[in-house]
């Protein structure tokens, strides 16, 4: 191959578009004003060419018609910005756009979490508005989404030295990391595979996530915050429960329950323990009894519980629950457990 021929083939080809339009200059003004891509409608004489080494090839052999539209936009700058993330240097690609009013800096929108910063040109001092955008379906896995949240958090702290005004935003990012970390742990504990798009399409309450995380993953006994005023049950006719009036009643209530978690079904075996229940009266009719407890706003009756994936493990726990009654009586609430986790997370 001759040098000239080699040069011809090695050159980067360029794509050129030619057209005529009465709206071209007004569209350019809109682009300059907004910084956003704009459509140019009603094109005439549209031609698309591939050019290389002085040769030109027309790509549209057939006329596209006078109603054709092309979208043009202002070019943006790219910056390779290094950050230190968990002891490793990571390069983040940032993009810079501008219009008459502001600069816009943003990270790659192909990731499930991306950063956007807008800087007003005329404000003194310049006002910077920072937000993040989220699309779970773009993540490869829950772990990948967690990593992207952590990366964006590090990026914000690296770009902006005065982060006091960004505390709510950083807290929001941390909350997302904690929530997703819990979901991933539940997924692994229950041997599930939760696809990232399910995080977007299926709503699961924070309370359900917390209950599963603390009971199944961390094996905690949990106090339910609901105030218990009565208990309905079926008793043998010879049962002498009436003698418990005015006394504390200790009852262990096993329970099986199937719950839905991001489209997956989980069978749970609960051990519910009645705590702090002083019997005030008992209404009996045949074998049915409605047991009422002393009403106290400051020290009410409540249920504490543990949960298991294995029925045998739940039965073993139920058999020894009365012996470990103090652990159930003094069990923390979900709110208390979450507070300790948040504290540990922020200090790590």
Six-digit token string for 316 = 């073993």
- In order of 132, 143, 325, the CA distances from 147 in angstroms are 14, 6, 41
Reading the chain (348 residues) residue by residue, the pLDDT tens digits are 444 444 444 556 676 777 777 777 787 778 777 767 778 777 777 777 767 666 666 666 555 555 677 777 666 788 899 998 888 889 999 998 887 788 889 999 999 999 999 988 877 666 788 999 999 999 999 999 999 999 999 999 988 887 788 899 999 999 999 999 999 999 999 999 999 999 989 999 999 999 999 999 999 999 999 888 888 887 766 666 777 788 888 889 999 999 999 999 999 999 999 999 888 888 877 778 888 888 777 789 999 999 999 999 999 999 999 889 999 999 999 999 999 887 766 555
Q: What is the pLDDT of residue 86?
A: 80
Q: What is the pLDDT of residue 6?
A: 46
Q: What is the pLDDT of residue 2?
A: 42
As a whole number of Å, the CA-based R_g of the chain is: 32
State the number of CA atoms in the 13 A half-sphere of 315 facing the CB: 3
**Which residue is it, tokens 């139920």?**
318
The 3-class secondary structure across the chain, one letter per residue, is CCHHHHHHHHCCCEEEEEEECCCHHHHHHHHHHHCCCEEECCCEEEEEEEEECCEEEECCCCCCCCCCCEEECCCCEEEEEEEEECCEEEEEEEEEEECCCEEEEEECCCCCEEEEEEEECCCCCCCEEEEEEECHHHCCCHHHHHHHHHHHHHHHHHHCCCCHHHHHHHHHHHHHHHHHHHHHHHHHHCCCCCCHHHHHHCCCCHHHHHHHHHHHHCCCCEECCCCECEEEEECCCCCCHHHHCCCECCCEEEEEEEEEECCEEEEEEEEEEEECCEEEEEEEECCEEEEEECCCCCCCEEEEEEEECCHHHHHHHHHHCCCCHHHHHCCCEHHHHHHHHHHHHHHC
Q: What is the pLDDT of residue 98?
A: 81
> Pick from 179, 169, 175: which is nearest to 205 by CA?
179
Cβ atoms of residues 210 and 338 within 8 Å: yes
- Phi then psi dihedrals of residue 309, to 5 deg: -85, -20
How many angstroms separate the CA atoms of 115 and 161, rounded? 16
How many angstroms separate the CA atoms of 42 and 67, rounded? 5
Q: How many C-beta atoms surround the C-beta of residue 275 within 10 A? A: 23
- Phi then psi dihedrals of residue 154, to 5 deg: -65, -40
- Phi then psi dihedrals of residue 124, to 5 deg: -130, 115
State the number of CA atoms in the 13 A half-sphere of 111 facing the CB: 22
How many angstroms separate the CA atoms of 93 and 205, rounded? 34
Tens digits of per-residue pLDDT, 141-166?
999 999 999 999 999 998 888 778 88
Tens digits of per-residue pLDDT, 227-277?
888 888 877 666 667 777 888 888 899 999 999 999 999 999 999 999 998
How far, rounded to the nearest angstrom, does the alpha carbon of residue 100 sit from its chain's CA centroid?
35
> Pick from 348, 199, 228: which is nearest to 296 by CA?
228
Q: Is the sign of the CA dihedral 47, 50, 55, 58 positive or negative?
A: negative
Q: What is the pLDDT of residue 291?
A: 87
Q: Are strands 128-134 and 252-261 parallel, antiparallel or unpaired?
A: unpaired
């Amino acid at each position: 191959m001759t040098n000239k021929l080699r040069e011809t083939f090695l050159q980067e080809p360029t794509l050129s578009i030619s057209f005529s339009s009465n709206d071209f200059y007004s569209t350019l003004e809109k682009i300059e004003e907004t910084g956003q891509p704009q459509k140019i409608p009603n094109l005439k004489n549209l031609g698309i060419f591939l050019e290389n080494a002085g040769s030109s090839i027309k790509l549209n052999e057939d006329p596209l018609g006078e109603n054709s539209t092309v979208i043009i936009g202002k070019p943006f700058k790219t910056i390779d910005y290094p950050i230190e993330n968990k002891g490793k240097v990571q390069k983040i690609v940032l993009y810079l756009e501008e219009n008459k009013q502001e600069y816009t800096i943003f990270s790659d929108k192909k990731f499930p979490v991306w950063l956007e910063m807008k800087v007003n040109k005329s404000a003194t001092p310049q006002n910077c508005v920072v937000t993040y955008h989220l699309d779970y379906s773009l993540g490869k896995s829950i772990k990948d989404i967690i990593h992207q949240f952590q990366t964006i958090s590090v990026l914000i702290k690296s770009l902006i030295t005065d982060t006091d005004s960004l505390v709510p935003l950083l807290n929001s990012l941390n909350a997302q990391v904690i929530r997703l970390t819990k979901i991933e742990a539940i997924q692994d504990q229950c041997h599930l595979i939760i696809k990232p798009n399910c995080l977007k399409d299926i709503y699961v309450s924070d309370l359900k996530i917390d209950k599963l995380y603390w009971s199944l993953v961390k094996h905690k006994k949990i106090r339910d915050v609901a105030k218990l005023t009565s208990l309905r049950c079926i008793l043998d006719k010879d049962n002498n429960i009436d003698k418990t009036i005015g006394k504390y009643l200790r009852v262990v209530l096993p329970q099986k329950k199937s719950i839905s978690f991001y489209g997956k079904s989980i069978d749970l075996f609960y051990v519910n323990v009645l705590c702090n229940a002083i019997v005030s009266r008992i209404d009996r009719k045949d074998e049915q009894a409605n047991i009422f407890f002393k009403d106290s706003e400051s020290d009410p009756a409540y249920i504490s519980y543990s949960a298991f994936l294995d029925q045998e493990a739940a039965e073993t726990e139920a058999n020894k629950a009365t012996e470990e009654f103090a652990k159930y009586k003094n069990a923390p609430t979900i709110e208390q457990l979450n507070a300790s986790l948040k504290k540990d997370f922020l200090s790590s």
